[in-house]
Structure 1
Amino acid sequence: MTEQQKHFPEFYVTAPQACPYLPGRLERKLFTHLTKEKPDTLIDNLLRGGFRRSQNIAYMPYCEGCHACVSVRVVVDGFTPGRTMRRVTERNRSISAARCRPEPTSEQFALFRRYIDARHADGGMADMTVLDYAMMVEDSVINTFVTEYRAKPEGALDSDPETWPLTAAALCDLLSDGISMVYSFYDPEADHASLGTYMILEHIAYARQLGLPYVYLGYWITGSRKMAYKMRFQPLEQLGPNGWVPHPGD
């Protein structure tokens, strides 16, 4: 491998396969490998410029004739939660959030499997093993962390939250201008708690605490009901041919 290959990305394109979000369409991805030899600024620019990370691969949609996938990010300083979101925060006021190193645990995997089996049993992650999960969490060359959310049992001591049961977790990357939420999962039996919404709200608050202007939510997909929830976190910006611009809303 030449020095140029070590420090600059080589891009590849996947073969067409069925789109998991829009029935009847095919998807392809443009991707590159992330290695320790790649400059940190290059990787940061990729992830701020529309690429998503899965382990040590950065990828983005590369679908012929389709531009439904749009990168979106929440503008932290402009975000004000509405009444419904304030209720979600209040509903989860007894949850303790802790930032952890990207080190997989058996407790995380057990929760992850319950979530996948209940919500995405026919998806691409349905067959993930404990080894696959470990690689998803720890295989990263950048600043990655896990936020663990633990629910306080009745009668438990406030001073001992690390003993509370794990109810949700979010794998995130820390970028130069924000937090990129890579993947999150939660107790599928806790629908009433709106934990998916709560985790985004909590990371917006954390980004504000760190002085970071954005929380990256990945792709919003035109016509996909699964991605409609992202529109609730306004103001939202989308990445277009001329850079990041305000998203017009759904």
Structure 2
Amino acid sequence: MSHQRPLGPIVFHRSGPMSCPYLEGLVEQQLFMELGGPNAQETFEHLSLYGFRRSHHIVYRPTCNACQSCIPVRIRVADFQNKRRYRKIRNRNADLTREDVGQRATEEQYRLFSRYVKSRHGDGDMASMSIRDYSNLVVASPVDTGLLEWRTPSGYLMATCITDRLGDGYSAVYSFFDPSEDRRSLGVFMILSLIDLAIEAGKPFVYLGFWVPGSPKMDYKASFEPIEGFYRGVWTEIRDKDSWGPVTTSPCGKTL
């Protein structure tokens, strides 16, 4: 699959130091650029090949001076190992029906989003988002973004995934679900569904954002095999996960 280089120069900025959201007590900095204009999709697809992630109209990647623990990762779907654990998760959610609803952000989704965020990330910025803020996650996206919904036979909205569509796969932007349904492992189930979609569409990858060795809330990403990490300029299959970090030195270990 070929990828054309985006037209025109790409102007990057570097953020100031911020509290690291993944490793307690550390600080982070980001390399970022603003997406917009007729070449936004092409630019985003090009940068995704170099480990960049999208949030709203910003494409970013951590660029910490003394820490390299944030590893962009993607699942190579053609060789995906459908382990017994994953088959059990699929079976537990066999009653759910998936629907691609395009960019239709709804109040029902927002209520589920609010419940999830307040339950799992109540101290974060997203906990105070309004319905307009939520809607803008999708409708204000400068690239090809859509929503996937999973419902029970009675029509109850169980889970939603905001997804970017790329030429070489799907990128899971943000997923949320009923926080009272832990037994279903809905976060993992949605990734399994994206793998299915990629295989059906003949696309080779599902992008999961950043895996951070040493961060418990990110451990699940490394359980999918085979998974590739973007490190030192190339995508490399992650085989020995323990050898990948966290990679920090003392300057990054200072709090703000």
Q: Does the TM-score normalized on the shorter chain lie above 0.5?
A: yes
Pair 1:36-2:37 in alignment: yes
Structure 2: segments with no counterpart, 5+ residues: 1-6, 242-256
Aligned equivalents of 1:221 and 1:44: distance in 2?
23
Structure 1: segments with no counterpart, 5+ residues: 1-5, 154-163
Q: Which residue identity is paired with 1:24?
A: G
TM-score, scaled to structure 2 = 0.88
Q: CA offsets, 1:169-217, max 9 Å, x none?
A: 0001111111011100000011111101100001101100000000000
Q: Is the 8 A contact 2:72 2:229 kept in 1?
A: yes
Pair 1:192-2:188 in alignment: no
Q: Report what 1:158 is aligned to.
A: none
Pair 1:86-2:77 in alignment: no
Aligned equivalents of 1:139 and 1:180: distance in 2?
17
Q: How many residues align?
A: 235
Aligned equivalents of 1:167 and 1:214: distance in 2?
25
Percent identical: 39
Aligned equivalents of 1:249 and 1:146: distance in 2?
34
| Greater displacement, 132-141 / 226-235 | 132-141
Query: Which aligned pairs between 1:1-250 and structure 2 lie closer than 5 A?
Result: 7-38=8-39, 40-153=41-154, 164-250=155-241
Aligned equivalents of 1:36 and 1:248: distance in 2?
39
Aligned equivalents of 2:8 and 2:124: distance in 1?
34
SS in 2 for 1:89: helix
Deviation at 1:39, TM superposition (A): 5.4
Q: Is the 8 A contact 1:7 1:39 kept in 2?
A: no
Deviation at 1:219, TM superposition (A): 0.4
Deviation at 1:42, TM superposition (A): 2.3
Runs (4+) off by over 4 Å = none
Whose RCO is larger (CA < 8 A, sep 6+)?
2
Q: Is the 8 A contact 2:170 2:206 kept in 1?
A: yes
Aligned equivalents of 1:41 and 1:109: distance in 2?
30
Aligned equivalents of 1:76 and 1:237: distance in 2?
11
Aligned equivalents of 1:238 and 1:20: distance in 2?
20
